[in-house]
């Protein structure tokens, strides 16, 4: 079978790597892919992830048997609906379900109807009304652009002035374009965050082990938010034995609600959770694998991802085992200096093979191969991922591999996994 992976990041490299291990697969194509997908043996094709018509034409012509979209934009633009119309199986939700991620107001409405715990909120289409609400309730508050804003449309405001400034930025100056013509203003929740992903077949949700992202750019969760500077699994704040209960709380009610709306959800439902003193609450849903969570999660997944995706598309995930390796996995993202603001490109990358010599895996987030040389080509360049018997061992192995990689003008966080290791120590001390 031929498989088409859509996207160009570390998540898509990990998907290519895992899908290629399936005996069912002959060729993997990546649109547009990156240096890592090419090194993995995928055929990169020059079609952007948001060119839905171009992707369908390609998939038809090449008789693609399975399409796997990585990024949210393709999903909200209706890639799954378009592929379905062409008779091509596509592992991802339809455009209706993808609005769970594409519109925060829609997500809030589905959560309310499904009875899922989340922050109290109000939705505004009018700047003056939104300003009046901020003045009435006071800070702290969270202001969110309704639409897709590449993870940048959320402001956690400590003061009313900050919240008002965020409203001016999002609704007044339209910093995120149409994504900000509506805003969601939320109660500010306090706690530790965790990513909880389920594989879904329309009816069933099969939990993957928990993961934790590191959104802030600098050590100690300082600095502006990024796409994610590293991730590990499992996250001790959400242990494996709680996964089924969590799926009952935040995933299965959503599947039931969407099915009732006439749109069964097939694909990955990712709940971004805040573990508060009042229990877990959903901050947001994504309708795809997270990046970089996907990299450690797929290193732990023990089984044939093609079989799993096909079973989900056939509406029966209970037909295949979804097993996990018992090890922990941890990924460290190496970035170009300046990210998440402007950054240089084109730096040569050395040490990739040495880094993988002891079993670590280097997933490429933003690279390109030019004349046989692998070069940096994005803000996030690599995600160096390793398995270990413990979280600490996974951390040690990942950082040992990072130390072997040389990229001019690059940096990484040096504390990926620390929060989890600290929590494990506290749990041990409490025993």
H runs (alpha helix) in 314-390: 352-356
Q: What residue 188 binds from ligand AMP, ligand GLY, none (CB within 5 to 8 A, per partner kind)?
A: ligand AMP
Cβ nearer to ligand GLY, comparing 59 with 148: 148
The tokens describing 400, both together, are 């040992």
CA 219 to each of CA 230, 247, 406, 413: distance values in angstroms, whole numbers, following the listed order: 11, 31, 20, 5
Q: Among ligand AMP, ligand GLY, none, what does residue 193 contact (CB within 5–8 Å per kind)?
A: ligand AMP
Kindly list the residues in this chain that would bind ligand GLY in the complex (CB under 6 A).
Answer: 213, 228, 286, 290-291, 293
Tokens 């088409």, located at residue: 4
Residue 119 interacting with ligand AMP (CB under 6 A): yes
Closer of 72 and 186 to ligand AMP (Cβ): 186
Q: Print the binding letters for residues 185-204 with ligand AMP: x by CB under 6 A, - otherwise.
A: -xxxx---x-----------
Closest distance of CB 119 from ligand GLY, Å? 18
For the chain, the maximum distance between any two Cα atoms, rounded to a whole number of angstroms, is 61
Q: Which is nearer to ligand GLY, 59 or 189 (CB)?
A: 189
Selected from 215, 300, 361, 419, the binder of ligand AMP by CB under 6 A is 215
Place of tokens 């209960």: 245
Instruction: Quote the least distance from Cβ 268 to ligand GLY, whole Å.
Output: 11
Q: How far is the CB of 203 from ligand GLY (least distance, A)?
A: 25
Nearer to ligand GLY, 89 or 290 (CB): 290
Question: Residue 156, interface with ligand AMP (CB under 6 A)?
Answer: yes
Nearer to ligand AMP by Cβ, of 109 and 409: the residue is 109
Q: How far apart (Å, rounded) are the C-alpha atoms in residues 236 and 248?
A: 19
Q: How, if at all, do strands 373-376 and 367-370 pair?
A: antiparallel
C-alpha–C-alpha distance, residues 194 and 210, integer Å: 7
395 and 424 Cβ atoms separated by less than 8 Å: no
Instruction: Provide the CB-side half-sphere exposure for 141 (13 A, CA).
Output: 26
Structure tokens, 190: 């306090």
63 Rama class: left (phi>0) / alpha (psi -120 to 50) / beta: left
Binding site for ligand AMP (CB under 6 A): 119, 142, 144, 154, 156, 186-189, 193, 215, 272, 283-284
């Amino acid at each position: 079978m031929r498989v088409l992976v859509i996207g160009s990041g570390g998540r898509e490299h990990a998907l290519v790597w895992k899908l290629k291990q399936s005996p069912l697969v002959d060729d993997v194509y990546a649109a547009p892919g990156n240096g890592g997908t090419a090194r993995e043996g995928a055929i990169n094709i020059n079609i952007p992830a948001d060119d839905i018509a171009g992707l369908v034409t390609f998939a038809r012509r090449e008789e693609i048997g399975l399409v796997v979209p990585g990024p949210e934009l393709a999903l909200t633009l209706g890639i799954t609906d378009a592929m379905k119309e062409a008779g091509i199986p596509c592992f991802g939700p339809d455009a209706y379900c993808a609005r769970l991620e594409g519109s925060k107001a829609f997500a809030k409405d589905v959560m309310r109807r499904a009875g899922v715990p989340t922050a109290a909120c109000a939705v505004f289409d009018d700047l003056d009304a939104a300003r009046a609400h901020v003045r009435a309730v006071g800070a702290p508050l969270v202001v969110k652009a309704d639409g897709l804003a590449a993870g940048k449309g959320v402001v956690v405001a400590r003061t009313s002035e900050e919240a008002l400034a965020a409203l001016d930025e999002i609704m007044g100056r339209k910093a995120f374009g149409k994504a900000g013509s509506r805003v969601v203003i939320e109660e500010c929740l306090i706690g530790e965050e965790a990513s909880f992903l389920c594989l879904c077949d329309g009816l069933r949700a099969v939990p993957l082990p928990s993961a934790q992202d590191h959104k802030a750019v600098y050590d100690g969760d300082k600095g502006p938010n990024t796409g994610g500077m590293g991730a590990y699994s499992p996250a001790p704040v959400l242990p494996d034995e709680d996964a089924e209960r969590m799926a009952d709380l935040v995933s299965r009610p959503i599947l039931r609600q969407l099915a009732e709306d006439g749109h069964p959800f097939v694909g990955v439902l990712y709940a971004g959770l805040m573990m508060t003193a009042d229990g877990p609450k959903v901050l947001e849903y994504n309708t795809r694998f997270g990046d970089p969570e996907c990299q450690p999660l797929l290193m732990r997944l023990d089984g044939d991802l093609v079989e799993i995706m096909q079973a989900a598309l056939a509406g029966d995930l209970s037909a295949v085992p979804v097993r996990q390796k018992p090890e922990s996995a941890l990924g460290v993202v190496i970035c170009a200096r300046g990210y998440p603001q402007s950054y240089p490109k084109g730096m040569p990358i050395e040490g990739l093979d040495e880094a993988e010599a002891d079993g670590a895996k280097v997933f490429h987030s933003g690279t390109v191969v030019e004349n046989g040389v692998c070069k940096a080509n994005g803000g996030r360049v690599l995600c160096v991922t390793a398995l270990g018997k413990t979280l600490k061992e996974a951390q040690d192995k990942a950082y040992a591999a990072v130390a072997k990689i040389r990229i001019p003008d690059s940096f990484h966080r040096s504390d990926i996994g620390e929060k989890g290791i600290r929590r494990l120590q506290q749990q041990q001390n409490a025993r």
